[in-house]
Structure formats: C-alpha cells, structure tokens
C-alpha cells in the first residue's frame, strides 16, 4: 500500500501559473483550516479464474456446431426451439386445391415441407463439412421456467433419439453449390434446409380445418400438436453457426385469382410454357421472441485445469470462464491514515490484457465489453434483464489503444459495501472483501446511444488478464478531507 498527500495549494499551481497576478487570491484568503487535503492510496486486489457454469441465455439466436481450440479444448453448441404462427394465421381453404375437387368433404395436401435454419454469421471455418440432425420435441418447453433459458438444459428430457428424428443434413457455412454472384447478392440469406415429413405437414392442415370448424384457436392447437425441434451437430469440428431464424415452411397449391378475387382463372406461370389456373404458395411457422429458444453449451474438462492457474486470469465465452475480483473493503476502511472519515473522490480499477500470440486463422477475439457485477447478483442481473447502475454493476469497453478494460470510478460500490456491512454487523474487519465477477457481455444501444440491453456474450471469444493469486492488481483510491 502506498500513501501520498497532496495539498490543495499544489493542485492550484496549475491555475496560478497561468496568471501570476491573480491566481493565488482565493487560496491566500482561505484560512489553513479550510484547505483540502487529498489522499492517494493503492490497495492490492486479488483475482482468480472461475468456472462460469451454466449461464442465462434468453435469446432468439440459436448456436449450432463444434469448435476445438488448442488452449481451451472443445466446445459444443446445439439448441431447442418452439415454432409458432401469427394470431390470425389461416390456411386459405377457400382457394386451396383439394385432393378431390368433387368430394363433399374436401381434403388438402402439402406439395413440399422443410425446416430451414437461417444465419447471417458464423464462427470458424467457412468450408468445414458438418452434419446436423433435427428431432421433434415430445415435451413442452415451459416459458415460465427460468431453467429453460440456462445453457445446461438437458435436451434428452425433451426428445426421443430413436423415434423423434426428422432429418439429417450435411452442410458447410458457405455453400459453394450456390454461385458467388448469388451469395454476394443483397437479398441472399444463407440457410441449411432439411425435408420435413409430408404426413406431418398434412396433419397441420387437417388440424387447421378441425380447429376452424370447432371454433378453436389454431395457434394454441398447433403449439400442443407440435412442441418444437432440437437441432444438434453430430459430425464435424471447426464451425459454429449463429442461427437467426428457424422456419417450418409448408407449400401447397392454390387457385389463382383475378383482380376481383375470382377464381379459377387462366394464367401463365413464370418459367413454364403451359397455362394453369393454380400456383404454389407457402405458409411459414417460425421461431420468434414470443417462444422459447434454448441453447445448450458444453465445454470439456480443459477449462477446469485452466481455472487453477494462478499467474493470470482468463475470461472465455460462452459459458466458459469468468474472473472473480476480491475488493479489499476492510483494508480500505481500516488502513493507516484511515479514509473512514474522508470523502471518496475516485476509485479506479484497470485490467490489463496480455497480447495474443496465436497465429490461428479462426482464433477467438477478446470480448468487446466486460460487466463487473457483485457475485451474489450475477444470476439475477441477467434473469431480470437489468442495466448497469454504477453502484453494484459496471460496464467497461475494451480499449485496443491501452489493451485494457478500465472501470474508471467504482466509488459508490465501495461506499455502498461499507454502509451495508456496518448496518449488518456494525463492524468492518480488515479481511472483509466484496466479491465481484467479470463477465463477457454483448450490449445494445438505441439510436441516441443509450444503453438498452446487456446479455451474456454467447459467441466464442477469450482474453487473458494480468492478475491471479501471484500477481496482485492495484486499486487506486483518491479521497479528501479538510486540512487540520
């Protein structure tokens, strides 16, 4: 611990050096008892790497794939999702082409059906060949159950691996069977599609007919009949897709109509030479923020060994490693030249990152933002969708200039911790610490640059920070008092 007092007259030097005729008037007129003494202290801060464990991941993004890193081991990602339709969804029965137009009881069939996974970005090797499997869920994902949003959700509880398989599909992040011109087009949306059983698609059309006849809400009936899907990567290593949308597309034939809505009419379909009065259209059931999309992440045991390293600390996303920070509240309160009767002006804590040395083409980058939050508030912060309050939670952006994450002023945290401890026990022992956790997060801002969202960073990334049991960090504390 270092102590240094700076008198206000020294600080004023900057002012009166600019004008030697008037700069000292204020200080000369002040009695010595009214001058302010500033104290500058530094305190040792202990840090350690901790296993993140499962994290709260309430998101509309699905993560799919596997990636093995030489330092952090293997990481697997798969997801479960429900599918839904609009409140007023309807199959256009009055225009659909029936199987037998002459039958009294009309029946309708789908011409094709597929499940499509749409993604705009990915991590890893764009040409790595993988294979995915899609299963139908046999148990409902309950929205009110917060556990369904944690990344240790057990897919085995929600599907039948023997009888629930819908389809398998080989894929790569970049599909070279599609022309480069198409892939670079502004409207191109890459996806992986698998065939969906026609008998199930026909069953949904029949369910709509029944629901309509009985006056039931089809959206609710569909949710009961089809509980969702589980998507897993069962072959391939090196790519993780960030799936934005999941669609169940059901195609069927309808009669063409004229401008007044009359049908059938004769029209020439694009690309065909025959004249027909029908064409194919598609109904879509999708994953939205209204339904559950649950990600399951799995890291191997390599992280357990990394968490024991004491020469530095690590942060690894997603759901990998965090850094625990022990703030020496008791030392601050009980230090020589105690600050207990002073005003805390500034408390600053910086985390220096080590420069990366790996040459990997697909290496993970450092998180853009770190959240520092009380350890006891970690889960509820994300479950309650909170924002930082600069009292018990703080946000720091990575600076590529200084290679640091800096929490510039955590004064209110120190004051709050002291006040709470005094209220609870009346005494603050020197060994009392406030445990904080550094968490990699993704943030969102509105058009006016106001922070509107903080969530766990669920993309692969890591940073190595100076610290650990063998390398204490320094907490800089500036406080003031009236000169005696």
d(CA 53, CA 88): 41
The residue-averaged pLDDT of 127-134 equals 97
Instruction: Check whether residue 37 and residue 105 sit in a common domain.
Output: no
pLDDT band at 101 (very low <50, low <70, confident <90, very high): confident
Kindly state whether residue 294 falls inside one of the protein's structural domains. no
pLDDT value for 266: 57
What dihedral angle (degrees, nearest 10) is formed by the CA atoms of 213, 218, 221, 226?
130
d(CA 376, CA 371): 14
pLDDT value for 395: 98
Which of the 8 DSSP states describes residue 274?
A: S
Q: Are 420 and 303 in contact (CB under 8 A)?
A: no
Instruction: Check whether residue 230 and residue 104 sit in a common domain.
Output: yes
pLDDT value for 334: 86
d(CA 441, CA 395): 9
**Helix-then-strand count for the chain, H and E:** 10, 24
The whole-model pTM stands at 0.86
Determine the 3-state secondary structure of 68 from DSSP.
strand
pLDDT value for 432: 94
Kindly state whether residue 159 falls inside one of the protein's structural domains. yes
The residue-averaged pLDDT of 174-178 equals 95
Kindly state whether residue 259 falls inside one of the protein's structural domains. yes
Which of the 8 DSSP states describes residue 426?
A: S
Work out the number of other CB atoms within 10 angstroms of the CB of residue 414: 21
Kindly state whether residue 75 falls inside one of the protein's structural domains. yes
pLDDT tens for 423-470 read: 988 888 999 999 999 999 999 999 999 999 999 999 999 999 999 988
pLDDT value for 261: 63
Q: Angle at CA 398, nearest 5°, toward 38 and 126?
A: 175
Question: Quick one: tokens of 463?
Answer: 């940073």
pLDDT band at 260 (very low <50, low <70, confident <90, very high): low
Give the helix/strand (H/E) hosting 26. helix 25-29
Q: Are 149 and 236 in contact (CB under 8 A)?
A: no
Determine the 3-state secondary structure of 24 from DSSP.
coil
Looking at the chain, how many residues does it have?
484
pLDDT band at 16 (very low <50, low <70, confident <90, very high): very low
- Of the candidates 463, 121, 211, 109, the one whose C-alpha atom is nearest the C-alpha of residue 316 is 463
Kindly state whether residue 312 falls inside one of the protein's structural domains. yes
SS3 assignment for 97-163: CCCCCCCCCCCCCCCEEEEEEEEEEEEECCCCCEEEEEEEECCCCCCCCHHHHECCCCHHHCECCCC
- Of the candidates 316, 286, 374, the one whose C-alpha atom is nearest the C-alpha of residue 71 is 316
pLDDT value for 276: 61
pLDDT value for 161: 94
d(CA 227, CA 291): 11
**Domain finish residue from 236, 261, 288:** 288
Place of tokens 């990481």: 75
Instruction: Check whether residue 255 and residue 332 sit in a common domain.
Output: no
Look at 460 and 7; give whichever has higher pLDDT.
460
Instruction: Check whether residue 338 and residue 436 sit in a common domain.
Output: yes
The domain containing residue 166 runs over which residues? Answer: 62-288
Q: Are 97 and 216 in contact (CB under 8 A)?
A: no
Kindly state whether residue 442 falls inside one of the protein's structural domains. yes
- Of the candidates 50, 74, 70, the one whose C-alpha atom is nearest the C-alpha of residue 315 is 50
Question: Quick one: tokens of 111?
Answer: 């011409």
Instruction: Check whether residue 193 and residue 326 sit in a common domain.
Output: no
pLDDT tens for 321-338 read: 999 999 999 999 887 666
Question: Quick one: tokens of 33?
Answer: 């008892």
Kindly state whether residue 217 falls inside one of the protein's structural domains. yes
**Domain finish residue from 246, 263, 288:** 288
- Of the candidates 306, 320, 309, 307, the one whose C-alpha atom is nearest the C-alpha of residue 469 is 309
Mean pLDDT of the chain: 88
Instruction: Check whether residue 460 and residue 338 sit in a common domain.
Output: yes
The answer, yes or no, to whether the previous bond of 318 is cis (omega within 30 of 0) is yes
pLDDT tens for 378-400 read: 999 999 999 999 999 999 999 99
pLDDT band at 257 (very low <50, low <70, confident <90, very high): confident
Instruction: Check whether residue 336 and residue 446 sit in a common domain.
Output: yes
pLDDT value for 67: 95
Q: Angle at CA 295, nearest 5°, toward 64 and 289?
A: 105
d(CA 293, CA 80): 6
Instruction: Check whether residue 155 and residue 83 sit in a common domain.
Output: yes
**Residues forming beta bridges with residue 3, ordered by sequence position:** 41
Distance from the Cα of residue 164 to its chain's centroid: 29
Domain count of the fold of the chain: 2
Question: Quick one: tokens of 213?
Answer: 């006849």
Lowest mean pLDDT among 235-249, 258-272, 452-466, 467-481: 258-272
d(CA 247, CA 194): 11
pLDDT of 10 strictly over 50 = no
Instruction: Check whether residue 442 and residue 310 sit in a common domain.
Output: yes
The answer, yes or no, to whether the previous bond of 85 is cis (omega within 30 of 0) is no
Which of the 8 DSSP states describes residue 353?
A: B
The residue-averaged pLDDT of 22-51 equals 68
pLDDT value for 29: 45
Lowest mean pLDDT among 55-64, 171-180, 266-275, 281-290: 266-275
Kindly state whether residue 296 falls inside one of the protein's structural domains. no
Instruction: Check whether residue 140 and residue 69 sit in a common domain.
Output: yes
Q: Are 462 and 73 in contact (CB under 8 A)?
A: no
Instruction: Check whether residue 272 and residue 372 sit in a common domain.
Output: no
H helices of 285-406, where? 302-306, 329-334, 378-383
**Domain finish residue from 243, 263, 288:** 288
What dihedral angle (degrees, nearest 10) is formed by the CA atoms of 72, 238, 194, 209?
30
Instruction: Check whether residue 46 and residue 73 sit in a common domain.
Output: no
In angstroms, what CA-CA distances link 168 with 77, 111, 135, 184, 203? Answer: 17, 20, 9, 27, 22
Look at 6 and 31; give whichever has higher pLDDT.
31
């Amino acid at each position: 611990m270092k102590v240094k007092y700076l008198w206000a007259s020294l600080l004023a030097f900057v002012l009166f050096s600019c004008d030697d005729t008037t700069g000292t008037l204020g200080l000369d007129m002040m009695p010595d008892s009214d001058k302010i003494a500033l104290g500058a202290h530094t305190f040792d801060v202990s840090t350690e790497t901790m296993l993140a464990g499962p994290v709260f991941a309430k998101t509309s993004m699905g993560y799919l794939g596997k990636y093995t890193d030489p330092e952090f081991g293997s990481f697997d990602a798969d997801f479960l999702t429900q599918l839904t339709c609009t409140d007023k969804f309807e199959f256009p029965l009055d225009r659909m082409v029936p199987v037998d137009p002459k039958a009294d009881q009309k029946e309708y069939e789908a011409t094709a059906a597929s499940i499509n996974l749409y993604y705009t970005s990915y991590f890893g090797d764009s040409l790595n060949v993988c294979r995915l499997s899609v299963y139908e869920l046999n148990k409902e994902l309950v929205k009110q159950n917060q556990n369904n949003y944690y990344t240790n959700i057990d897919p085995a509880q929600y599907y039948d691996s023997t009888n629930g398989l819908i389809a398998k599909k080989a894929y790569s992040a970049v599909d070279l069977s599609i022309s480069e011109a198409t892939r670079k087009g502004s409207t191109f949306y890459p996806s992986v599609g698998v065939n969906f059983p026609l008998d199930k698609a026909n069953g949904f059309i029949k369910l709509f007919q029944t629901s309509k006849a009985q006056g039931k809400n089809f959206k609710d009936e569909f949710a009961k009949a089809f509980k969702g899907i589980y998507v897993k990567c069962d072959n391939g290593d090196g790519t993780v897709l960030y799936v934005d949308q999941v669609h169940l597309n059901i195609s069927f034939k309808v009669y063409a109509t004229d401008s007044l809505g009359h049908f059938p009419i004769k029209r020439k379909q694009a690309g065909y030479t025959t004249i027909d009065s029908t064409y194919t259209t598609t109904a879509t059931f999708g994953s939205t923020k209204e339904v559950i999309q649950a990600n399951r992440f799995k890291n191997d045991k390599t992280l357990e060994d990394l968490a024991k390293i004491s020469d530095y600390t690590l942060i690894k996303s997603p759901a990998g490693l965090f850094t625990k920070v022990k703030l020496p509240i008791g030392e601050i309160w009980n230090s020589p030249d105690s600050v207990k009767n002073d005003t805390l002006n500034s408390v600053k804590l910086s985390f220096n990152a080590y420069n990366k040395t790996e040459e990997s083409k697909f290496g993970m980058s450092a998180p853009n933002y770190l959240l520092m939050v009380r350890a006891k508030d970690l889960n509820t912060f994300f479950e309650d969708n909170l924002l930082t309050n600069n009292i018990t939670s703080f946000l720091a952006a990575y600076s590529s200039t200084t290679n640091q994450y800096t929490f510039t002023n955590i004064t209110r945290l120190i004051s709050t911790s002291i006040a709470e401890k005094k209220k609870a026990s009346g005494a603050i022992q020197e060994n009392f610490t406030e445990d904080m956790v550094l968490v990699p997060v993704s943030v969102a801002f509105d058009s006016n640059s106001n922070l509107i969202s903080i969530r766990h960073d669920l993309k692969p990334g890591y940073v190595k920070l100076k610290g650990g049991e063998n390398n204490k960090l320094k907490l800089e504390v500036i406080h003031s008092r009236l000169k005696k």
